[in-house]
Amino acid sequence: MSDRPAIVVYGAGSVGCYLGGRLHDQIAVRLIGRARMAHVLRERGLTLSDLQGFHRVISGTSLDIQTEPQAAVASLVLVTVKSADTAQAGRELADVLPPDALVISFQNGLRNAEILRNTLPGRTVLAGMVPFNVLQQSPGVFHQGSSGELMVEEHPALARFLPVFEAAGLPLQQRQDMPAVQRAKLLFNLNNAINALSNVPLRQQLAERGWRRCLALAQREALSVFAAAGLPLARLTPLPASWLPRVLELPDALFTRIAPRMLAIDPLARSSTWEDLQAGRRTEVDALHGEIVELATRLGRRAPVNERIIALIREAETSPVKWTSERLLASLQQA
């Protein structure tokens, strides 16, 4: 397709393909990704589903999928690349984006929007947050396995796109406190690595108190570091962020009664870190646990639990090890 699309999704991975696919019926969308993904989507099309029963198949011939940064000319660009690739993405986009382009970073981590602003001077770059899990079940097949609404930094330039996202089933919740939102999301994302080490689906992992206690250790350490830095966290669930470790440590029977009120997760969901390990890709652990470790260092402190999790994921990237919750908990308690 040669016509200029209204929206470009820059980074056709799990989240990028899912967002682009949901928007596809509402507006002209172009996906930009690696050649391997482009080949899959052209050959197999795009299949989307979610835990609420949504299901959509989009033929490969109707998709606008490109591989070159020069194709990223649109009014709105959603950046969904891995955090480690953000600076490169920004440099690539700087050469092609029109001055009035609006950019939203829908990425894990805390600093991607800032990196994009530095590499895209003069453009409007907004921080966004994807609260739900998306898993590529097989090539070209993407499933949203948990609940939540997209959040984005409030800005007047979003007005023309709000009805489009609403019609696509992806309402944009505008926030004035996105840094606090991102820190709260990071608290939840600390489970990505633990889920990967457990090698079981998210719901099964979170149903076992031993795995939850591992997460509680990482979260409590993160909460301590954020508090020491004077950085507040937004409330993303009915419970304040500071209560999460205590809820995680509850007995299984009580936790399973409370958890559905906080977050719906279906049996298929797994973390993006697990998916990266299965695909032999470098994970985003530095953009998650690494943020806690780095902030602690700046404060003259340590974050040994999160340091240990980073080390274990780095080991798993090269030589997978089978963990039990008991072994992992003992390892983290000794950190």
pLDDT digits (tens, 9 = 90+) for 294-313: 999 999 999 999 999 999 99
Considering the domain architecture, whether residues 258 and 171 belong to the same structural domain is answered as: no
Considering the domain architecture, whether residues 169 and 30 belong to the same structural domain is answered as: yes
Considering the domain architecture, whether residues 99 and 199 belong to the same structural domain is answered as: no
Considering the domain architecture, whether residues 135 and 200 belong to the same structural domain is answered as: no
Considering the domain architecture, whether residues 307 and 212 belong to the same structural domain is answered as: yes
Picking from 156, 176, 196, the residue at the C-terminal end of a domain is 176
Question: Does residue 230 fall inside a structural domain?
Answer: yes
Q: Tokens standing for 240?
A: 């304040």
Question: Does residue 157 fall inside a structural domain?
Answer: yes
Considering the domain architecture, whether residues 292 and 152 belong to the same structural domain is answered as: no
Question: Does residue 67 fall inside a structural domain?
Answer: yes
Picking from 148, 176, 204, the residue at the C-terminal end of a domain is 176
C-alpha span between 218 and 197 (Å, rounded): 14
Q: Which of 210, 128, 214, 213 is nearest to 172 (CA)?
A: 128
Question: Does residue 1 fall inside a structural domain?
Answer: no
Considering the domain architecture, whether residues 190 and 64 belong to the same structural domain is answered as: no
pLDDT digits (tens, 9 = 90+) for 75-94: 999 999 999 999 999 999 99
Neighbours of 99 (CB within 10 A): 7
Confidence of residue 317 (pLDDT cuts 50, 70, 90): very high
Considering the domain architecture, whether residues 214 and 165 belong to the same structural domain is answered as: no
DSSP secondary structure string for all residues of 166-220: HHTT--EEEES-HHHHHHHHHHHHTHHHHHHHHTS-HHHHHTSHHHHHHHHHHHH
Confidence of residue 241 (pLDDT cuts 50, 70, 90): very high
At 54, the amino acid letter reads F
pLDDT digits (tens, 9 = 90+) for 175-185: 999 999 999 99
Considering the domain architecture, whether residues 126 and 92 belong to the same structural domain is answered as: yes
Q: What is the CATH number of the domain that holds 167?
A: 3.40.50.720
More confident residue, 264 or 36: 36
Considering the domain architecture, whether residues 202 and 168 belong to the same structural domain is answered as: no
Model pLDDT, residue 257: 87
**Can you give the residue range of the structural domain that contains 172?**
7-176
Q: Tokens standing for 65?
A: 């999928």
Considering the domain architecture, whether residues 44 and 168 belong to the same structural domain is answered as: yes
Picking from 113, 142, 176, the residue at the C-terminal end of a domain is 176
